[in-house]
Amino acid sequence: MTSLSTPLTISVIGCGYLGAVHAAAMAELGHRVIGIDVDKAKIDLLAAGRPPFYEPGLPELLTSATASGRLTFSTDIAAAAEATVHFVAVGTPQRAGSNAADLTYVDAAVESLLPHLSEGDLVVGKSTVPVGTAERLAAVVSGAGVGATLAWNPEFLREGFAVKDTISPDRLVYGVGEGDEHAESVLDAVYAAALAAGTPKVVTGYATAELVKVSANAFLATKISFINAMAEVAEATGADVTQLADAIGFDARIGRRFLNAGLGFGGGCLPKDIRGFMARAEELGVEQALSFLSEVDSINLRRRGRMVDLATEVLDGDVSGKRIAVLGLAFKPDSDDVRDSPALDVAVRLAELGAIVVATDPEAVETSRARHPELTYVSTAVEAAQDADVVLLLTEWKQYRDLDPAELTSVVSGRALLDGRNCVNPVVWREAGWTYRALGRP
Ligand code: UGA
């Protein structure tokens, strides 16, 4: 724990992924934190040091923060009255039947806070919102007439690295109201440890802060779809997209990170954020500026179809009645999140085509089962591969990247590995007598 010259009392409204990590990290930094959520079951688990989702390092952080007395949880929004800084970290999911973000929870959180605000309090939005939301909510907060103000402070944490990304962010962005110097100094006190460690800070207006968040995710999504578009071309020409990525990645202006071709992006952020961004651009009359994001989305979704086609091809044109082992269900390794997961989507599509899918994942079996109870789930790669006609590697967990083909050779019925994440060495598998196929590679 870093010792702080001015520890603050902070409330965090919404203890989902973002809020739970933020609350624990702020307590770790020395602040007194009250985590608030309407879901009692979630609050009980967090208070017991057991996050309701998988995130490396978070159970330890929750346990030490609650034991120190600096972190408490409540289902009662009135508990926020003790705090002077209030982070709003509720979800902004994609609205049903539309590309736009659903702001119901953000609006409700801010409304419910109003009676508990005092002079000088700062409400800080963390949720990803359409540009223009902060300005609207700033008026709601000032309308309460108690002298509280609002700032927007987007979050850039990655699942799997959420604790590290929150305690040591690569940048801090403060969107503050015009002339609100108080907001900047309060956020400086919140993030004193990161600032002392040299973290760069950008102080700007609301609109820029909101746009920083969605444009960063749009750029990352575009980078991934760019390399997956190259994979499509590679497939038509016999080129190898992984070598292509290495070669262009040596150009420091391009960079090798986020150029891993494969099944593409999923999760609770990139897909919904690019769609929400397009919907907002349309409302603003600048839809042409973001029309390329619709192509980014299409390229991304096409990769899932290509994986199903590849499995069909390897199974002589028909997957029906064939046994398919699926290794990996989470949208990425070190997570149990299956929201818009490319891996789970491919598994479900193959099952719908009549294949006997046996799936496994180190952490995401239960989250997958909750959404798709019709699939068969097992605990290990070897169990999944039992009598399989083909093995699909769809999420690059370390234990799958490190698999020794010999472990599966004796149990499978057909030695064919389809690498949906370009994450194992083809030479090793081919030398072990396996057919190796991947996206974007000969
Ligand atoms: C993403 C951003 O990376 C974070 O900066 C942001 O804060 C977060 O969304 C958010 O808005 O909350 P996350 O969704 O945790 O973080 O996951 P990423 O690491 O970005 O991966 C997203 C997807 O892209 C995964 O399905 C991953 O498998 C895929 N991916 C990533 C690729 O297909 N290729 C790559 O080279 C990299």
Whole-angstrom Cα distance, residue 268 to residue 281?
20
Shortest-distance Cα residue to atom 13 of ligand 1? 158
Shortest-distance Cα residue to atom 25 of ligand 1? 265
Per-residue DSSP letter, 93:
P
Q: Which CATH superfamily is domain 303-438 in?
A: NAD(P)-binding Rossmann-like Domain (3.40.50.720)
Dihedral sign computed on CA atoms, order 25, 28, 30, 34: positive
Percent of the chain with pLDDT over 70: 99
pLDDT (0 to 100) of residue 14: 97
Delimiting residues of CATH 1.10.1040.10 domain(s) in the chain: 214-296
Token digits of residue 71: 């972190």
Residue 221 has pLDDT above 90, yes or no: yes
Whole-angstrom Cα distance, residue 203 to residue 116?
27
Whole-angstrom Cα distance, residue 67 to residue 48?
10
Delimiting residues of CATH 3.40.50.720 domain(s) in the chain: 9-204, 303-438
CA of 373 to the centre of ligand 1 (A): 26
Q: Is 269 in the pocket of ligand 1 (CB under 6 A)?
A: yes
For the domain made up of 9-204, the CATH class stated in words is alpha beta
Percent of the chain with pLDDT over 90: 97
Whole-angstrom Cα distance, residue 144 to residue 150?
12
Residue type, 135: E
269 carries an active-site annotation: yes
E strands along 303-422, which residues? 323-327, 356-360, 376-377, 390-393, 416-419
Token digits of residue 90: 């509720």
pLDDT (0 to 100) of residue 395: 98
420 near 397, Cβ under 8 Å?
no
Q: How far is CA 194 from CA 28, 139, 440, in A?
A: 12, 30, 41
Within 13 Å, how many C-alpha atoms sit on residue 119's CB side? 0
Closest Cα partner for 71 from 79, 172, 399? 79
CATH code of 214-296, in short, is 1.10.1040.10
CA angle 190, 20, 372 (to 5 degrees): 150
Whole-angstrom Cα distance, residue 314 to residue 316?
5
Query: What element of type H or E holds 281?
Result: helix 270-283
Q: What is this structure's pTM? A: 0.96
Residue range 7-61, pLDDT digits in tens = 999 999 999 999 999 999 999 999 999 999 999 999 999 999 999 999 999 999 9
326 near 338, Cβ under 8 Å?
no
Among 269, 311, 315, 355, the one annotated catalytic = 269
CA of 116 to the centre of ligand 1 (A): 36
